[in-house]
Amino acid sequence: MFQQLKQLSPDTILGVMAKFRADPAASKVDLGVGVYRDLSGNTPVLASVRRAEQEILAAQTTKSYVAAAGREEFNSAVEELVLGTAHAARRDLRARTLQTPGGCGALRVGAELIRASSPGVTVHISDPTWGNHTPLLGSSGLRLERYPYYDAAAHRLRFDAMLEHLERAAQGDVVLIHACCHNPTGADLDPAQWRALAQLLQRRRLFPFLDMAYQGFAVDLDADAAGVRFVTELMPEALVASSFSKNLGLYRERVGALIAIGENRDRADAVMSHMLQIARSIYSMPPDHGAAIAARIFADPTLKQEWLLELAAMRTRIGDMRGLLSRHLREVIGDGTFDFIGTQHGMFSLLGVSPETVARLRDQHHIHMTPDSRMNLAGIMPHNAAYVAESIAGTLSAA
Ligand SMILES: Cc1ncc(COP(=O)(O)O)c(C=O)c1O
């Protein structure tokens, strides 16, 4: 059976993690891995999560199945969190939500849903984008194309080129859009750009698929959802994949949701029936534990307040480290080339250097990042920011 299977080369990020582990230097810095880190280098269990979890475990009487759609109270709270309280689709009962195993589960179910309803469409993904978008969407058989998004060497968005590309997309094609804290670039659209994009989608009849994995990591829960809300208010139909891995720190519990907005209630019901069938055919039921924790936090005002403070603390720490690193870089380089690190959003920015420079930073300075020069700013600490800046400056001047 397995004779035809050749050993695959390991995933890039796993390779980066292995090299970091094997690096014996005490000064080594991990900017590679894609999780939040606190000042002690831990990815903590949030206190609000721990409290909600204890309450749930104390009250739990069964481990029986919940439902293929997951928890109702989770799904309706997520809808409100993502779309807001005044969204037309919620008012008109045109939104349907499926609890999924993480944001990845939502992206995968979304891809299968698109293929079931429109197998010939192309999904346009940003160039660059998060490495998992290609396998998650591509393995459902959909054709993928890249739209220009960011010039890493020039450290700026390629918004005009993005619009030009999408002008040429075929009617009905899907556009995958990062909702905020773009991974890997950290470069987000401003409100005017969101408006221009939404108008183009509407005029060219393209279908928006929004991926929101970092809600609350840029400004706050509402501001970070503004683009999603603008697009989904304007368009008759849309999909939104939502992940609670980062903002609740629930990574391994696999907590996410897929929100589908239909043109009317009947259409939305039909879409939901397909989402349920797809879920059944892939994993049957989503895991419950993390979603139960999330639902409890969303519903309990004290827990929610505690979570919002913890979320703000994570966001502030990353923002502080962005500021610190960009100031150190300005000092050692003598100009504002890397000021963008201080103003971009979320966990990631691209340093904008070649894979060879990334390798030199690793081999000579023990600073580890992915070959595309993506840095996880949560790996920067007050004690290593100057070292990282000096190492970058030294490596660039030697190149
Ligand atoms: C852009 C993006 N989308 C989706 C996800 C989904 O994450 P998860 O499946 O862990 O919820 C991530 C996680 O890193 C991400 O960066």
Average pLDDT, the chain: 97
Query: Cβ of 53: how many Cβ atoms within 10 Å?
Result: 20
pLDDT tens per residue across span 133-187? 999 999 999 999 999 999 999 999 999 999 999 999 999 999 999 999 999 999 9
Task: Give CA–CA dist 89/103, Å, rounded.
Answer: 21
| Contact between 69 and 285 (Cβ < 8 Å) | no
In whole angstroms, give the CA distance from residue 88 to residue 237: 12
Q: Is the pLDDT of residue 399 over 80?
A: no
Token digits of residue 175: 């556009």
| Residues constituting the chain | 399
How large is the angle between the packed helices 102-117 and 265-282, nearest 10 degrees? 120
Give the Å distance between the CA of 396 and the centre of ligand 1: 31
State what percent of residues in the chain have pLDDT above 90. Answer: 97
DSSP label at residue 83: H
The question of whether 211 is a catalytic residue gets the answer: yes
Q: Residue 3: its pLDDT value, please?
A: 94
What structural domains does the chain harbor? Answer: 12-44+309-398 (3.90.1150.10), 65-299 (3.40.640.10)
Locate 19 and state its tokens.
Answer: 């090299």
Q: What does the pLDDT read at residue 68?
A: 94
Whether the upstream peptide bond of residue 44 has omega within 30° of 0, thus cis, is: no
**Ligand 1 pocket residue status of 349, Cβ below 6 Å:** no
Does residue 290 line the site of ligand 1, with CB under 6 A? no
pLDDT (tens digit, 9 = 90+) per residue, 233-290? 999 999 999 999 999 999 999 999 999 999 999 999 999 999 999 999 999 999 999 9
Q: Is pLDDT at 126 greater than 90 in this prediction?
A: yes
How many CB atoms are closer than 10 A to CB 21? 11
Backbone angles phi, psi at 86, to 5 degrees: -110, 15
246 is known as an active-site residue: yes
User: 213 CA distance to ligand 1 centroid (A)?
Assistant: 5
pLDDT level of residue 13 (50, 70, 90 thresholds): confident
pLDDT in tens, 74-107: 999 999 999 999 999 999 999 999 999 999 999 9
For residue 319 and ligand 1, the question of a CB distance below 6 A is answered with: no
CA-211 nearest atom, ligand 1: 3
- State whether the beta carbon of 215 lies less than 6 angstroms from ligand 1: no
Cα dihedral sign, 131-294-212-111? positive
What pLDDT does 14 receive? 86
* Integer Cα distance of 320 and 224 in angstroms: 18
The Cα–Cα gap between 304 and 139 comes to 37
Catalytic pick among 30, 173, 211, 372: 211
Point out which residues pair with 147 in neighbouring strands: 126
Q: Is 63 a catalytic site residue?
A: no
Q: Which atom of ligand 1 is nearest to the CA of 106?
A: 9
Global confidence as pTM = 0.97
| Any atom of ligand 1 within 6 Å of the Cβ of 130 | yes
- 325 three-state secondary structure: helix
Any residues with CB less than 8 A from the CB of 265 and at least 6 apart, and which?
Answer: 92, 93, 94
What pLDDT is recorded for position 388?
Answer: 98
The residue ranges of DSSP E strands in the chain, in sequence order, are 29-30, 95-100, 122-127, 143-148, 150-151, 156-157, 174-178, 207-212, 238-243, 256-261, 348-350, 367-368, 374-376
Pocket test for ligand 1, best of 215, 243, 347, 350 (most atoms within 8 A of CB): 243
